[in-house]
Amino acid sequence: MTLSDDGNWQWNGQEWVPAPGAEMVSSSVIKTVVPSILIVASLLFVLLSPSLSPFESIKDSDGDGYSDDIDVFDSDPNEWFDSDSDGLGNNQDDCPLEFGDSTIDRIGCLDRDADGYSDLNDSFPLDPSEWLDSDEDGWGDNQDDCIHEAGDSNQDQNGCLDSDADGWSDAGDPFPNDQTQWVDTDGDGYGDNQSGNNPDVFPNDANEWKDSDGDGMGDNQDPDDDNDGYLDTYDVNPNRDAAIFLNLSTFIVHDAMDYFDSYSEIYFCVYMNNMSEGCVPDQNSYWSLTTGAESDVSTSFYLDLDEGIRHHQIEIEAWDSDAFADDLMDISDDSNYERLVIQFDSVEQLSEVQIVGDGTQDSNGWDGELALEISPFDSRSITRITHTWDLNNQYFELDMDLDYSTYVYYRSLDHSIDWTGAESYADVIGQYARFSTPNAPYIIELATTLQTMANQAGYTSALDVADFIHAFVGDIQYVYDLDDAGEQSEYPKYPIEMLWEQGGDCEDASALYISLVEALGYDAALMLGLTKSNSEEEWGGHAWPVLHLADHSGDAWYGEGEKASLRFYFVEATGHFGYSAIGENPWYDLTDEVWYDIE
């Protein structure tokens, strides 16, 4: 038999039973105590269980005064509410009513680019790489090379001062006030940008920067910077080929020039540096102008200025044509002159000048008033010359693209005629003949163009084409080689000079016409001789071309040598006015003619 340790129970082999003589608690006691114990245990269980305890609703784990059931941060005594549910307590959240996760300038505010800076203080709220712009120039401090200086440079540096707004900072721009230049590789003071101001044509050569004539040689070592044929030593305009357009605009005849009507027959003659530049409308016509009325006389003279002279004297005469003697009108306000005298400085006067020559300002009679403009320009800038002419009441216009270097080449050649030992035109005609250049490329191109224009206008025969070219040459302004005293001064021109300058005299027109027709395969020759327009006039020297045409008739000369059997017909190259056709001699008389074949 086995007893329990307190002797009150014994094991009968199957269960524990009260031991004999043991002190047993009465059932009444058990019935009373056991339920009480169970009640107490239940109360303790409820009180001590977090989920069931009535004290749980007043529990404050972090002792911040907010019960755990409402304290969003029950283990943080410094926080209890998170109104915007962004995970940051309202006490530290600078934007408690706006969800946000900024952490640097403000806590818990909207930060759309997630760079730590709130949108409120972020100068670049959508750029995670930038947030501050200390100088408020639009460049973030992280990429701004000048954070304390506002600027908008973006090439060499970002956000630095850029005075000329070319993208390059002033500190890195050799030309801080020139928007067109910013780099000077060779440090010579001229920018590398070829389309900018004062570009350096030689950006890697500190000794050169300009090539005025485009010949590949810098101006510092080039003896002729503008390639105009005049060495810089003597050229008063070494960087340009100085020229002017003298534009006659309007004219008023103030005093009646004729006794029988109110019309005056007016023409103008121009001289520069005592050399004639020609008369307009032309050598055989005039404008019929009403006394007192302002009349349009629009005419332009191309004047190529002597590069060795700075000050040029331009003189303009207004004449009234009469049957017996032409009358010189007064168009000067200086009582010492009737002609208008203008002093022009080719170095200083680079913009258009408007001038009025008014003869009413002095006491001289036969007064007229001429308005004109002088327009200076660089002859090298001419790339196209427009020429107009007429034939059989049809009017034609051609834009000629002439090469300046070709013009300068021919202009620089010797133009002199050596009369030493000469007794007649036969002794010098060969010198005049050299000015005809039928094989020059520009002549061949122009001749072909004129032939095409003639054919398109219905001029298809050999005679028609020759007459078409005759009209083209004849309508170029006639300019005498005369000095201011009316004395002849020879200066034959090559064809490109007459085309470029739109003027020339008889030998110039002859050389041009012969060159053009010879380029098309015609057989032409040059003639020199003496002419007179009436029986009273003195003999004067003249040059004219002659042209061989099969089955033609008219005034002609036979050739010489192998061409002695061929008839060469007269062409008055300087006077095509609709009446002087090929084979028609308009002169009263001719003598001492000499003939020279052009091949």
**Residue among 599, 519, 529 at smallest CA distance from 557:** 529
What are the structural domains, with CATH classification, of the chain?
A: 242-379 (2.60.40.150), 385-597 (no CATH)
pLDDT higher than 70, residue 25? no
Tell the residue number behind the tokens 């759309």, with chain if given.
112
DSSP at 389: E
Predicted confidence at residue 154, as pLDDT, reads 93
pLDDT bin (cut points 50, 70, 90) of residue 599 is confident
**For residue 467, is pLDDT > 70?**
yes
Q: What is the per-residue pLDDT for 578?
A: 46
Given the DSSP bridges, would you call strands 589-597 and 523-532 parallel, antiparallel or unpaired?
antiparallel
> Which residue is it, tokens 């071309």?
545
Residue partners of 224: CB distance under 8 A and separation at least 6: 213, 230, 231, 232, 235
What is the pLDDT at residue 442? Answer: 96
Contact indicator for 318, 308 with CB cutoff of 8 Å: no
pLDDT surpasses 70 at 162: yes
Please report, for residues 49, 118, 275, 289, 357, the alpha-carbon distance to residue 338 in angstroms, rounded to integers and kept in the order given.
132, 88, 18, 19, 10
For residue 500, the one-letter residue type is W
Report which of residues 81 and 587 the model is more confident about.
587
- Residue 143 pLDDT greater than 80, yes or no: yes
pLDDT tens, residue by residue, 31-42: 565 566 776 666
**77 confidence band (pLDDT: 50, 70, 90):** confident
pLDDT of residue 55: 53
Mean pLDDT for 195-206 is: 94
Q: Which residue type sits at 365?
A: G
Full DSSP string of 190-215: SBS-TTSSSB-SSTT-TT----TT-S
For the segment 525-553, the average pLDDT, to the nearest whole number, is: 93
Backbone angles phi, psi at 27, to 5 degrees: -65, -25
* pLDDT higher than threshold 60 for residue 50: no
Distance from C-alpha of 46 to C-alpha of 71, rounded to nearest angstrom = 23
Is residue 486 over pLDDT 50? Answer: no
Per mean pLDDT, which of 90-94, 95-99, 577-581 is the most reliable? Answer: 95-99
Cβ atoms within 10 Å, residue 75: 10
- Using 50, 70 and 90 to split pLDDT, how confident is the model at 518? very high
The whole-number pLDDT of residue 434 equals 97
In percent, how much of the chain has pLDDT > 90? 53
Q: Are 415 and 431 in contact (CB under 8 A)?
A: no
Mean pLDDT of all residues in the chain? 87
- Which residue is associated with the tokens 């700075």? 310
Q: What six digits make up the tokens of 312?
A: 């040029």
Q: For residue 361, how far is the Cα from the chain centroid? A: 44
Give the per-residue pLDDT at 187.
94
According to DSSP, residue 414 is labeled: -
> For the chain, how many residues are written?
599
pLDDT in tens, 345-395: 999 999 999 999 999 988 777 899 999 999 999 988 877 888 999 899 899
Task: For residue 97, count other CB atoms closer than 10 A to its CB.
Answer: 8
pLDDT of 239 over the 50 cut = yes
Non-local (6+) Cβ contacts of 411 within 8 A are: 229, 494, 497
| 3-state SS assignment for residue 507 | helix
Position 62 scores a pLDDT of 74
DSSP 517-544: HHHTT-EEEEEEEEEESSTTSPPEEEEE
pLDDT beyond 90 at 289: yes
At CA 323, angle to CA 322 and CA 326, rounded to 5?
A: 35
Indicate the angle between helix axes 462-474 and 441-456, nearest 10 degrees. 110
Q: Is the pLDDT of residue 576 over 60?
A: no
Whose CA is closest to 432, among 566, 277, 229, 598? 598
Query: What is the per-residue pLDDT for 485?
Result: 44
Instruction: Return the sign of the alpha-carbon dihedral for residues 448, 475, 392, 557.
Output: negative
Of the candidates 593, 587, 573, the residue with the CA atom closest to the CA atom of residue 517: 573
| Global model pTM greater than 0.75 | no
Which residues neighbour 551 within 8 Å (Cβ) at sequence distance 6 or greater? none
Question: Would you state the structure tokens that stand for residue 156, as one six-digit string?
Answer: 């060499």
Element housing 299 (H / E): strand 294-304
Token pair in block for residue 45: 């269980």
Dump pLDDT digits (tens) for 383-433: 788 899 989 989 999 999 998 889 989 988 999 999 999 999 999 999 999
Distance in angstroms (rounded) separating the CA atoms of residues 109 and 497: 83
Q: What is the DSSP letter of 92?
A: T
> Mean pLDDT lowest for which of 26-40, 96-110, 569-583?
26-40
Contact 153, 161 (CB under 8 A): yes
